[in-house]
Structure 1
Amino acid sequence: MIGLQNAHGELWKALYYYRYVRPRASRLPGIKESSIVDSLRFSSKLSKWLDDESLVKRGKGTNWKRQYKLRHNWTQGSCAISEIEVAEQPSFPPLLVFMHESVVFMADSSDGLRAWSSRGERKELARIALPGVKPGSAPNPPTSIAVDAGSAATDDPLVVVGFQDGSYSMYKFHHPEGRFTHRYSHAPSTNGILSAVAVSLPYLLTMTATQLLSLYSVSVDVESPPRLLYSLKSHTVWPPLSLSIRSSAQYITAAIAYALPTYLSGWTVGMQEMRLTMDGELIVSRLASAIDQHFRPLTFSLNPSSVLPTPPQTPHPDSEESETRQIHSKPSTISYTHPYLLVSHPDNTLTLYLVSSTSTTLSISSGSRLWGHTSSVSGAHIGGKGKAVSVSTRGNELRIWDLEGGFTSSASRRRLATGAMSVQIRPGTPNKFENDFEPVTEVMGGRSTGLRLALEHNVDDLTATRGWIGFDEESVIVLKEKGEGSQALVVYDFT
C-alpha cells in the first residue's frame, strides 16, 4: 500500500512538473523550448533554481496531488470566499494591513496591533495596545507597518509599526504561543510622519512625509536601540512608494521605488538604491528612472479587441489622445519585488517595469501596459515568482497576473496578446478538478472582462476597497469597506 501511495505521489509530482515547472523553466533567460527543456526533470536542484524549493522539504513529503490542485485553482481563478469582520467603524487614518506567512497583521488607533490567521479557523491570534494611543493623550495614530522580510523560516517574526509623530515601535510575534512582546520604541522625530517602513534583519528602512529616507542597523535580538547608518534627503519622491530590502551572499540592497512627475512626459517611476556590505559599509548609492519620451505600451501594437473591449464612446486605443491619457495618469499604488515593479492606475490599467541592478548599473525598463480591468485599479501587490494580484476600486473585480519573464520574449508577447497573462478571480466557481489525470494540453487560465460583483457570491455589501491587497500560496486577502462603514478582510481561498 505504501508503495502504491509513493507511486501515485510520483505521478502527481511528474504531472505537476510538466504542467507548472517546465513552462516556467522555458521562460527563463538562456533556455528555449528545445531538447534542453525536454531533458529537464523535476529535482530539488531545479526546484530551488525556480524558487520552488519549499515544495521539496527535508524530512517532510509534499502532497503533490494537493499542490497540483492548488495551482490548478490559481490558474483558473477558482476559489471559495469568506470574510473576517475586523472593524465596526471606519478608522482614520485607515486600518493598516500586512500579510506574512499566512498571518494578517493589522494596526489602528482603536484596536492596537493584531494578528489574524488566514487559514483554518481564521481567528484572531494575538493583540497588543500601541504606545501613545491612550484616552486623553494627543492623537498619534499608526501610519505604516512592516514585517521582517527574512523571517520566513521562523515562528517569531519582527513587526515594525510607524506613527504620525515620526516614532516607531518593534514587536516580536510569537506564533506558537499566540502573543506579541514589545521590544523597542524609537522617540518621536521632527522629520514628520513615518509614511513607510521595511525591515529585513539586521536592517530597517524608513521614509518620512518630508522625503527623508533612513537606513538603520538593528540587532538580531532587538534588545539594543537601532543604529542610524545613512539618511538621504530627496525633493523628487512622490507617493505612492514602495520600500524594499533584499540580501545576497555579498551585500545588502535597500531601495525605494516612487512615483515621479516629469515636465513633458507626465508621471513615471523612479528608484533610489543603496548597496552595502554585510558590515553596513556603503558601496554605492544611485538613482534611476523610467523616463522615455518615445515609450509606447506594448499592447498598442496588438489588436485592441483581444485585450480590452473599447466602448463606442471611447476613443480608439491607437489614438494619440487615448495613448497620452493612459501613459501619463498618476499611479494609484506601487509594488516592488525585485526585479518586478508593478504600478496601478485609475484608468483601469497597470504598468509593469523590469529593474536591472548590477554591481555597476541600475536601470528601469520602459513600462509595458497591462489591460484587463474594467474599472479603476485601486490596489496591486506583486509577490515572488512574478505572480501579482490586483483589485478594482469598487472591490468587484480581482485579477491574478503571471508576469514572470516580463515581455522580453516572443512567447511572453503571445501570452499577453491571448490574455494568458492574467485570469479573473471567480469566487464560488465550481471546482473543475474532477479527473485525476486530465490532459496536460488543457488550456490553463482564461480571461473575462465582465464585472463579477462580490454581492453575487453571498458576501455582505462590501462595496469599496481600501487600496490594500495581499496574498500567499493559498489565498488572496482584500481589505474592503461595507456600506455602513465597517471593515472586513475578504478571503479568497484557492485550496
Structure 2
Amino acid sequence: MLKRNRDATLAEAPPAKRTRPNQLDLLSSLSDEVILHILSFLPITSLSICQRISHRFHVLAGDSALWKRKYYSRWVWPRFRRAQHLRESGLLANGVNFGQRSSKWVGHEHLIENPQRTNWKKQYRLRHNWSKGLCRLTEVEVAQPLIPTVLVKLYKSVAFTADSSHGLRAWSTKDMKVCLASIALHPVTNADSEPAIPTAIAVGPYSITPNLFELAIGYETGDISLYTFNPSTWRFSHHLSYSATSYGAISALAFSSGYILALSQNQTLSLFRLSSNLESQSGESTLAPLQLITSLKASNILAPLSLSIRTSSSDVIAAVAYSFSQIGCGWSIGLQELRLNQQGDILGSRLATTIDSQFTEGPFNTLSDTEHLFKSHSTSARPKAKGAVTAFLTPSLSYTRPPTSLSYSHPYLLASHADNTLTMYLVVSTSRSLTIKTGGRLWGHTSSVSGVQVSDRGKAVSVSAQGDDIRIWELEDVVSTHRTSRRPRQSESSVQVNPENIKTQQTLSKLDKRGQMRNDDAKFIFEDVSHTLAKIRGVVGFDDEQVVVLREHDLGSQLLDCYDFT
C-alpha cells in the first residue's frame, strides 16, 4: 500500500492562524449610551447573540434598563392597550409610550415597586417561559402509603404541607429535597392517642407583622389552629386554637386581612375575625381568640366550592362559590357575598347565579332579550296575541354533571368539567349589585379536567384527570377574543406545560412504525406511561414562577411536583 507524502499532507493542512482583512472597528469608539441606543432596536434573539461578542457587549446587552423596555413592549403594553380609555387618551397613535408610572404597568405594578432590585432580563425570560410552557420538573415525596391526603398550599415560593403523621411542614420551591421547617399540629379536642387529621388549609399575610406568613389549619374535629411562619428564620410558631365542634369537620378555609372564612361539613359558613391584643404580659402584640362575626346555614351547597376574601378601600368582602342543580338547565354555579366595613360590622349579603347567563347567546354580555324572555316565560302566564310563536328556550350552556372543580378570584370565576372543557364567568360586584356575566367555553384539554385555579391577575392553570396535560390560560386574551369572535382560535386559548427534563415523547418514539419492539423496551415504555397517567389530584397552587401539583405514586405514596419556569 502506498504511503501518503508528508509534504502533501502539510500542504493540505489549514494555516495555524486565520488572517483577517484589515477592517475599521466602528463600535469600539462609541460610548456606552450610543451602543445601548443601537441595541434597543434589535430583536431579542439578536440581543442575546450580542452578549456573546465580548465582555463589554455582555454587560451592555444585558443592561437592566434595556430589558425593562423590552419587557414593557412585549408584555405590559399589549395589556394596557386593551383598556377602554386607551383610544380616548390618544396613546394608541403615539406608539409604545414607555413610562415609570404604575398606572401604565397594569397587572405588573409589583415589579416596579422596587425597580433597582428587579432583574428585568430574568423577568422577561420568566414571562417567555410561561407563554411557551417551558419549565423544569422536580418532585419530592411528602407522605408514605396508608396516610390520608396531604394538604398543600403555595404562598410566595414556599409550599406548606399538613398531614396527620408529619404535622405542618414548609418546603422551598427552589430546593424541594429539603424540608425547611416543621411543627406538630395543635387541635383543641384531639385525643392524645389519636393523630390530628387536618382537612383544610389557608395561608395569608400576618395581620400584625406583614413580613410573616399566617396559616390556618382546619381539622376533622371542627377545630381551627393558627400558626405563623417566619421566612427569614424558617420557623413556625403556634398562636391559638379555636374549638367549633358543633359545626362538624372543616371542609374549606379562606384567610385574608385578619378574617377567616370557614365552611363546615354540616354546610355552615362561618366568618371569624382576628384582633390584636396589645396588653400581653410579654409586651408584644399577640392574637386574641377568634371572634365569630356571623354564621350562615346553607341548604344546598355541594362540592366543589371555592372560598375567598378580598378587601377594598372601604369594605371587606367574603365570598363563596358553589355548584347546585336546577331543573331545566342542569348544573349551575351560585355566588354569595358577605360585605363588611373596616370595623367588622355586617353591611349585607348578596346572591348571584349563572342560571340567567346560561340562557344568553352572546359571550360576556350583559342581560339580553333572551334572558328577559326566559324570565317572563317562566314567571307569568299572560295570554299571547294571535299569530305569536311560542319560544321554547334551551340553555346555551347546559351541564348534566356537576363541575369537577371551582376557583374564584375576583373578577374571574372558573369551572372545570368532565367533558374536557372549562367555563369562565366574569363577576361584576359593585356597591349596589352583584351579577355574573355570560360564561365562555374554553377548549384545549383532550381528557377530563380534574382541577383549575385562577389568580386575580387573569392567569389560570388547569390539570387533566389523567395527569398528562397541564395547561396555562391567559384569561384577558380569552375575553378579548370572545368579544371579537364567537369561536376563538383554539391554538391561542392555552399553552401546554412541557417540562424540559421529561423525555416521555422521546421514550415513546422508540416504538417502531410497525409496532414491533423488544419485550424489555415494551415493558419500560408502558410502565413509564402508567406512572404518569391518572395520578395528579389537582392544582395545588401557582405564582409568578412555578406551578405545584400533588399526585400519587403507583405504590401509594404522595409526591409534590414543582414545575419551575425560571
TM-score (norm 2): 0.73
Q: Please give the alpha-carbon distance, in whole angstroms, between the structure 2 residues aligned to 1:140 and 1:215.
A: 23
Indicate if the aligned counterparts of 1:391 and 1:469 stay in contact, CA closer than 8 A. Answer: no
User: Residues 380 and 469 of structure 1 are in contact (CA less than 8 Å); yes or no, is this contact kept in structure 2?
Assistant: no
**Pairing partner for 1:27 from 79, 82, 96:** 82
User: Alpha carbons of 1:32 and 1:373: their partners in 2 closer, same or farther (altered >3 Å)?
Assistant: farther
Rounded Cα–Cα distance in structure 2 between residues aligned with 1:135 and 1:231: 27
Query: How big is each residue's C-alpha offset from its partner over 1:135-158, in whole Å with a ceiling of 9 and x where there is no partner?
Result: 863454111000016789943111
CA distance in 1, matches of 2:412, 2:344: 25
Q: Does 1:112 align with 2:173?
A: no
* Contact 2:363 2:482 survives alignment (8 Å): no
User: Structure 1 pair 416/192, CA: closer, same or farther in 2 (3 Å)?
Assistant: same
1:400 equivalent in alignment to 2:472: yes
For the pair 1:290 / 2:336, whether they are aligned, the reply is: no
| 2:444 alignment partner in structure 1 | 372
Find the aligned partners of 1:153 and 1:415 in 2 and give their Cα distance: 48
SS at match of 2:310: strand
Q: Is the 8 A contact 1:267 1:330 kept in 2?
A: yes
CA deviations on 1:122-172 (whole Å, 9 max, x unpaired) are 521111111259886345411100001678994311100001111110000
Hey, what's the Cα distance between the residues in 2 that align with 1:258 and 1:486? 31
Q: Deviation of residue 423 (structure 1)?
A: 0.6
Distance 1:153 1:405, change over 3 A: farther
Q: Of 326, 331, 350, which residue of structure 1 is paired with 2:403?
A: 331
Distance 1:485 1:494 in 2: 28
Q: CA deviation at 1:460?
A: 9.8
Offset of 1:461 from its aligned partner? 2.7
2:460 aligns with 388
Whether 1:230 and 2:294 are equivalent positions in the alignment is: yes
Q: Percent same amino acid at aligned positions?
A: 43
SS of residue in 2 equivalent to 1:18: helix
Q: Summarize the Cα distance change of 1:416–1:203 in structure 2 as closer, same or farther, 3 Å threshold.
A: same
Which residue of 176, 201, 205 maps to 2:257?
201
Is the contact made by 1:462 and 1:480 (CA closer than 8 Å) also made in structure 2? no
The reply on whether 1:243 has 2:307 as its aligned counterpart is yes
Q: Deviations over 1:93-113 (max 9, x none)?
A: x11111100001111111111
CA distance in 1, matches of 2:288, 2:89: 55
Paired letter, 1:95:
V
For structure 2, the residue ranges without an aligned partner over 5 or more in a row are: 1-30, 37-58, 277-284, 365-394, 503-524
Partner of 1:437: none
Q: Is the 8 A contact 2:200 2:250 kept in 1?
A: yes
Do the aligned partners of residues 110 and 472 (structure 1) sit closer, same or farther apart at CA in structure 2, a change above 3 Å counting? same
Counterpart Cα distance in 2 of 1:150 and 1:134? 26
Listed one character per residue, the Cα deviations across residues 356-393 of structure 1 (whole Å, up to 9, x for unaligned) are 10000001112211110011111111113100000111
Check conservation: 1:262, 1:268, Cα contact below 8 A: yes
Partner of 1:482: 553
Give deviations 1:268-323, integer Å, cap 9, x for gaps.
11011011110011122111101035246969xxxxxxxxxxxxxxxxxxxxxxx9
C-alpha contact 1:341 1:353 (8 A) present in aligned 2: yes
SS at match of 1:285: strand
How far is the alpha carbon of 1:181 from its aligned partner?
Answer: 0.6
- Structure 1 position 344 matched with structure 2 position 426: no
Query: Cα–Cα, structure 1 residues 258 and 32, in superposed 2: closer, same or farther, change >3 Å?
Result: farther
Q: Which moved more, 1:125-134 or 1:174-183?
A: 125-134
Distance 1:39 1:379, change over 3 A: same
Partner of 2:467: helix, strand, or coil? coil
CA 1:413–1:11: 2 relative to 1, 3 Å: farther
Aligned equivalent of 1:434? none
Match of 1:73 in 2: 129
Closer, same or farther: CA 342–247 of 1 in aligned 2, 3 Å: same
Do the aligned partners of 1:83 and 1:459 also contact (CA within 8 Å) in 2? no
Q: Which has the higher helix share?
A: 2
User: Which structure has the larger Rg?
Assistant: 2
Moved more, 389-398 or 135-144: 135-144
Match of 2:228 among 172, 177, 181: 172
Point out which structure has higher relative CO (alpha carbons under 8 A, 6+ apart): 1
Give distance in 1, aligned partners of 2:556 and 2:244: 31
Give the residue type in structure 2 aligned to 1:20: W
Residue in 1 that maps onto 2:52: none
Is 1:103 paired with 2:158?
yes
Q: Distance in 2 between matches of 1:116 and 1:6?
A: 37
Give the counterpart of 1:212 among 249, 268, 272.
268
Partner of 1:473: 544
Greater CA drift, 163-172 or 411-420: 411-420
- CA shift in 2, pair 1:176/1:459, >3 Å: farther
Alignment of 1:261-276 (within 5 A): 261-276=325-340
CA distance in 1 between partners of 2:551 and 2:157 (Å): 19
TM-score between the two structures when normalised by the length of structure 1: 0.82
State the 1:84 CA deviation.
1.4
Alpha-carbon distance between aligned partners in 2 of 1:212 and 1:222, rounded to the nearest angstrom: 28
- Pairing 1:29-48 to 2, within 5 Å after superposition: 29-31=84-86, 35-37=90-92, 38-39=94-95, 41-46=97-102
